[in-house]
Structure 1
Amino acid sequence: MATMIRERPAILLMDVCKSFGTGDGKVDALKNINLEIARGEFLALCGPSGSGKSTLLNILSGIDKPTSGSTLFLDKSLNELDEGQLSVIRGRHLGFIFQFFNLIPVLSAFDNVCYPLILNGRYGRKEARERTQQTLESVGIGALGNRTPGQLSGGQQQRVAIARALAHDPQVVVADEPTGNLDQATGEAILDLLMKINQETRTTFIVSTHSTQLRDRARRVIEIKDGEIVHDVSK
Structure 2
Amino acid sequence: MANLIKELPAILLIDIFKSYGAGENRVDALKNINLEIKKGEFLALCGPSGSGKSTLLNILSGIDRPTFGTTLFLDKALNNLDENQLSLIRSKHLGFIFQFFNLIPVLSAFDNVYYPLILNENYSKKAASELALHYLERVGLYELRDRKPGQLSGGQQQRVAIARALANNPEIVVADEPTGNLDLATGEAILDLLMQINQDIGTTFIISTHSTQLKDRANRVIEIKDGELVSDSAI
| 2:229 corresponding residue in structure 1 | 229
Write the letter of the residue equivalent to 2:49: S
Cα 1:35–1:142 shift into 2, 3 Å: same
Aligned mates of 1:185, 1:64 — CA distance in 2: 34
1:160 equivalent in alignment to 2:163: no
1:210 equivalent in alignment to 2:210: yes
Write the letter of the residue equivalent to 1:16: I
Q: Secondary structure at the match of 1:234?
A: coil
What does the per-residue CA deviation read over 1:45-95, in whole Å, with 9 as the maximum and x for residues that have no partner? 000011000100000000000000000000000000000000000000000
Aligned mates of 2:74, 2:18 — CA distance in 1: 21
Aligned mates of 1:158, 1:5 — CA distance in 2: 34
Aligned mates of 1:156, 1:59 — CA distance in 2: 29
Gaps of at least 5 residues in structure 2 are none
**In the TM superposition, what is the alpha-carbon distance from 1:17 to its structure 2 partner?**
0.3
| 1:188 corresponding residue in structure 2 | 188
Q: Secondary structure at the match of 2:90?
A: helix
Q: Secondary structure at the match of 1:12?
A: strand
What does the per-residue CA deviation read over 1:180-233, in whole Å, with 9 as the maximum and x for residues that have no partner? 000000000000000000011100000000000000000100000000000000
**In the TM superposition, what is the alpha-carbon distance from 1:26 to its structure 2 partner?**
0.2
Q: Secondary structure at the match of 1:174?
A: strand
| 1:199 corresponding residue in structure 2 | 199
Q: Secondary structure at the match of 1:185?
A: helix
Q: Secondary structure at the match of 1:195?
A: helix
Q: Secondary structure at the match of 2:112?
A: helix
Gaps of at least 5 residues in structure 1 are none
Note the 1:89-128 alignment, pairs <5 A: 89-128=89-128
TM-score normalised by the chain length of structure 1: 0.97
Q: Secondary structure at the match of 2:40?
A: coil
Note the 1:1-235 alignment, pairs <5 A: 7-234=7-234
Write the letter of the residue equivalent to 1:39: K
Q: Secondary structure at the match of 1:9?
A: coil
Cα 1:27–1:142 shift into 2, 3 Å: same
**In the TM superposition, what is the alpha-carbon distance from 1:37 to its structure 2 partner?**
0.0
Give aligned-pair identity as a percent.
75
TM-score normalised by the chain length of structure 2: 0.97
Give the 4+ runs in structure 1 shifted more than 4 A.
3-6
Write the letter of the residue equivalent to 1:83: E
Aligned mates of 1:160, 1:20 — CA distance in 2: 34
Write the letter of the residue equivalent to 2:22: T
Q: How many residues align?
A: 233
What does the per-residue CA deviation read over 1:111-166, in whole Å, with 9 as the maximum and x for residues that have no partner? 00000000011101111001100010011111111000000011100000000000
Q: Secondary structure at the match of 2:178?
A: coil
Aligned residues: CA RMSD: 1.3
Q: Secondary structure at the match of 2:233?
A: strand
**In the TM superposition, what is the alpha-carbon distance from 1:234 to its structure 2 partner?**
3.2
**In the TM superposition, what is the alpha-carbon distance from 1:5 to its structure 2 partner?**
7.9
